[in-house]
């Protein structure tokens, strides 16, 4: 079985006592307890400001346990990318920010769309999934 | 100390993939100033296969600023120590499904914090499941 593990450590001093949370998960295929995600796409792209792009070219199979990591590697903290799924604005990743989310690509419009602002943003992404429909040449 | 989040991903899917290890300091939009507000850490027990608001933006006691640098962490921690990795809770924003958090899975996602953009959760089954979550945001 392929094994993909994602761990996070979150700390904050915004509360009266320091908060520290750690979690780790092994990314399994949808509905299984013994079969891990076994395909991935990993990339690093420059995104010029102003135009919306789909970050994932070949849409994975819908309604699975797909996981998506995106980091904005821009060093200018005023640069950001806007994340939109199926016309729903989700949020922004400023320079240095990352996200890790499940994505279910539930229909043909449910692509992960990003739009850069401020200048050319440098984006790293990794998609862990269990199948995709490749585009015939 | 500020608010920081570190992710580590390891995988043997692709030969040569060296993994990912990155840390971010949560800051206010477009600045190096630390983010200044949080809902605090919370848990929500769900026992029906129907959609609920995990975060109702319009009900936050301290109004979040819209469309800036907010982030939310959510984890499916199962129930009473039992984590079923074969059953999920569908997380959404407004009416848009984002993805499925299976037992033990966690997510860190940016948010607009616009009043209409509530964070929703829909368990796959009526079996009790608990989500833990914390929202970091800028005060309006």
Note the pLDDT tens digit of each residue in A82-127. Answer: 999 989 999 999 999 999 999 998 888 888 999 999 999 999 999 9
Give a yes or no: residue B44 inside a domain.
Answer: yes
DSSP state letter for A86: T
For residue A54, pLDDT over 80 is answered with: yes
Query: Is the distance from CB of A119 to CB of B126 less than 8 angstroms?
Result: no
Which fold, A37-129?
A: Jelly Rolls (2.60.120)
Query: To the nearest 10°, the Cα dihedral for A45, A75, B73, A124?
Result: 20
Query: Is the distance from CB of A25 to CB of B83 less than 8 angstroms?
Result: no
Among B64, B90, B100, B130, pick the best mutation site for testing chain A contact (most A Cβ within 10 A): B100
DSSP state letter for B94: T
For residue A57, pLDDT over 80 is answered with: no
Alpha-carbon Rg for chain B, nearest whole angstrom, is 16
Give a yes or no: residue B49 inside a domain.
Answer: yes
Over residues B1-15, mean pLDDT: 95
Give a yes or no: residue B4 inside a domain.
Answer: no
Per-domain boundaries in chain A? 37-129
User: For the whole model, what pTM was predicted?
Assistant: 0.97
Give a yes or no: residue B81 inside a domain.
Answer: yes
Does A23 sit within 8 Å of B14, measured CB to CB? no
Range of the domain at B35: 28-137
Give a yes or no: residue B3 inside a domain.
Answer: no
CA distance B46 to chain A (A): 19
Any idea what the Cα angle at residue B122 is, between residues B86 and A53, rounded to 5°?
90
CA distance between the termini of chain B: 23
Give a yes or no: residue B98 inside a domain.
Answer: yes
Q: What is the CATH number of the domain that holds B42?
A: 2.60.120.770
What is the C-alpha separation between B136 and B112, in angstroms, rounded? 11
Q: Predicted ipTM?
A: 0.97
Report CA-CA distances (Å) from A13 to A19, A96, B18.
6, 20, 32
Give a yes or no: residue B120 inside a domain.
Answer: yes
Q: What domain count does chain B have?
A: 1
Please check whether residue A136 touches B, CB under 8 A: no
Give a yes or no: residue B14 inside a domain.
Answer: no
Which parts of B85-127 are beta strand (E)? 88-93, 96-102, 106-111, 119-123
Sequence-ordered list of residues with C-beta below 8 angstroms from that of A3, at least 6 positions apart, any chain: A26, A36, B10, B11, B12
């Amino acid at each position: 079985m392929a094994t993909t593990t994602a761990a996070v450590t979150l700390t904050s001093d915004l509360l009266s006592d320091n908060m520290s949370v750690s979690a780790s998960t092994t990314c399994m295929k949808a509905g299984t307890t013994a079969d891990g995600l076994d395909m991935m796409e990993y990339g690093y792209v420059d995104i010029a400001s102003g135009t919306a792009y789909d970050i994932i070219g070949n849409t994975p199979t819908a309604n699975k346990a797909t996981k998506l990591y995106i980091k904005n590697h821009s060093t200018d903290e005023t640069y950001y990318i806007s994340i939109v799924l199926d016309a729903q604005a989700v949020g922004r990743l400023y320079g240095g920010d990352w996200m890790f989310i499940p994505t279910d690509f539930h229909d043909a419009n449910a692509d992960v769309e990003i739009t850069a602002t401020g200048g050319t943003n440098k984006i790293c992404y990794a998609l862990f999934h269990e199948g995709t429909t490749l585009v015939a040449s | 100390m500020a608010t920081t989040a570190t992710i580590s991903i390891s995988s043997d899917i692709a030969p040569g993939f060296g993994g990912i290890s990155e840390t971010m300091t949560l800051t206010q939009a477009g600045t190096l100033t630390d983010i200044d507000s949080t809902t605090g850490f919370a848990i929500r027990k769900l026992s029906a296969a129907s959609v609920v608001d995990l975060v109702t933006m319009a009900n936050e006691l301290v109004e979040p600023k819209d469309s800036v640098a907010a982030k939310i962490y959510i984890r499916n921690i199962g129930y009473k120590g039992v984590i079923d990795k074969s059953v999920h809770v569908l997380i959404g924003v407004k009416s848009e499904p984002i993805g499925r958090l299976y037992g033990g899975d966690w997510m860190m996602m940016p948010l607009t914090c616009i009043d209409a953009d509530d964070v929703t959760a829909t368990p796959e089954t009526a079996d009790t499941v608990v989500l833990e979550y914390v929202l970091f945001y800028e005060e309006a």
